[in-house]
Chains A and B, each alone.
Chain A
Amino acid sequence: MMEPNTTATAIEPAVVCRGVSKTFGDGDSKVHALRGVDIEVLPGAISLLVGPSGCGKTTLISIVAGLLDPTDGEVHVLGHRIDAMKSRHLVPFRGENIGFVFQQYNLLPALTAAENAAVPLLVAGWRRGKAVRKAREVLDAVGLADRANALPSQLSGGQQQRVAIARALVHDPRLLVCDEPTAALDAKSGQNVMELFSRVAVQNDRAVIIVTHDNRVFHFGERIFHMSDGRIERVEGRGERGARSGEDIR
Chain B
Amino acid sequence: MSWLALKMLTGDRAKFVGLIFGVAFSTLLMAQQVSVFIGIVKRSASQIYDVRDADIWVMDNKVRFIDEAPGLPDSDLLRVRGVEGVDWAVKLYKGQVRARLEDGNFRNVMLHGLDDASLVGAPVDFVAGSLADLRRPNAVIVDENGYHYMWPGEPIQIGREFEMNDRRAVLVGVCKVSAPFTTLPVLYTRYNEARHYVPRERNLMNFVLAKPAEGFTADQVAEKIEASTGLMALSKEGFVVKTIKYFLSSTGIPVNFGITISLGFIVGAAVAGQTFYLFTIENLKQFGSLKAMGVSNLRIAGMILLQAWFVGLLGYGIGIGLSALFFEATANIPHLAGIFMGWQAMTGVGLAVGMIVALAGMLSMRRVWVLEPAVVFRG
Using CB atoms and an 8 Å cutoff, list the residues of chain A in contact with chain B.
58, 61-62, 65, 67-68, 88, 91-96, 100, 102-104, 106, 108-111, 115, 119-120, 122-124, 128, 179
The SS class assigned to the B binding surface is helix
Tally of A-B residue pairs with Cβ under 8 A? 77
A245 vs B377: C-alpha distance when bound (angstroms): 30
| Contact between A91 and B294, CB atoms less than 8 A apart | yes
Determine if B296 is an interface residue (Cβ-Cβ < 8 Å). Answer: yes
| Contact between B294 and A94, CB atoms less than 8 A apart | yes
| Contact between B10 and A110, CB atoms less than 8 A apart | yes
User: Which residue in chain A gives the minimum CB-CB distance to B4?
Assistant: A122
| Contact between B1 and A96, CB atoms less than 8 A apart | no
Name the B residues within 8 Å of A111 (CB-CB).
Answer: 4, 7, 11
Digit string of B265-304 for contact with A (CB within 8 Å is 1, else 0)?
0000000000000000000011011111111100000000
| Contact between B11 and A103, CB atoms less than 8 A apart | no
User: Which residue in chain A gives the minimum CB-CB distance to B7?
Assistant: A110
Partner of A108, one of B286, B294, B296: B286
A106 to chain B: closest CB distance in Å? 4
A123 vs B4: C-alpha distance when bound (angstroms): 10
Using CB atoms and an 8 Å cutoff, list the residues of chain B in contact with chain A.
1, 3-4, 7-8, 10-12, 285-286, 288-296, 372-374, 376-379
Partner of A62, one of B1, B290, B377: B377
| Contact between B8 and A108, CB atoms less than 8 A apart | yes
Name the B residues within 8 Å of A102 (CB-CB).
Answer: 289, 376-377
| Contact between B289 and A100, CB atoms less than 8 A apart | yes
| Contact between B294 and A67, CB atoms less than 8 A apart | no
A96 vs B295: C-alpha distance when bound (angstroms): 11
| Contact between B286 and A119, CB atoms less than 8 A apart | no
| Contact between B377 and A179, CB atoms less than 8 A apart | yes
| Contact between B294 and A96, CB atoms less than 8 A apart | yes
A14 to chain B: closest CB distance in Å? 18
* Given A106-B285, A106-B286: A100 touches B292 (CB 8 Å cut-off): yes
Partner of A95, one of B12, B286, B295, B379: B295
* Given A108-B8, A108-B286: A123 touches B3 (CB 8 Å cut-off): no
A104 vs B296: C-alpha distance when bound (angstroms): 22
| Contact between B376 and A100, CB atoms less than 8 A apart | yes
A93 to chain B: closest CB distance in Å? 8
A67 vs B289: C-alpha distance when bound (angstroms): 10
| Contact between B374 and A94, CB atoms less than 8 A apart | no
Instruction: Select the residue from A65, A88, A91, A103 with max chain B CB neighbours within 10 A.
Output: A91
| Contact between B374 and A68, CB atoms less than 8 A apart | yes
| Contact between A92 and B4, CB atoms less than 8 A apart | no
| Contact between B7 and A123, CB atoms less than 8 A apart | no
Name the B residues within 8 Å of A104 (CB-CB).
Answer: 285, 379
| Contact between B377 and A110, CB atoms less than 8 A apart | no
Instruction: State the 8 A-B residue pairs at the shortest beta-carbon distance, nearest first.
Output: A95-B294, A110-B11, A67-B374, A62-B374, A106-B289, A68-B374, A67-B373, A179-B377
